[in-house]
Structure 1
């Protein structure tokens, strides 16, 4: 029998969005301010995160 806490954790992890999708949406929103681009970036997930990291502009970098 699976403990209740483990079952709840597994259920939440399966039904939520992934870390890559969350990072992609935030990066896309900061760059484009467009809901459609943010949704597309969320679908592409880690591919968009890698693309964003490679193509960052100087004003998007940490000072």
Structure 2
């Protein structure tokens, strides 16, 4: 049960994070292309920070 809950949280968290990045980008830039780019690059930065940063 806990594994399913974690998978669901991660699945919706990734979707929400990308949607939020795209919405903010579109609001600021008024460009669908930039919104898509920011939605993708946002998660690339998350992985970079996870690998190279020490918290």
TM-score (norm 2): 0.49
Higher helix residue share: 2
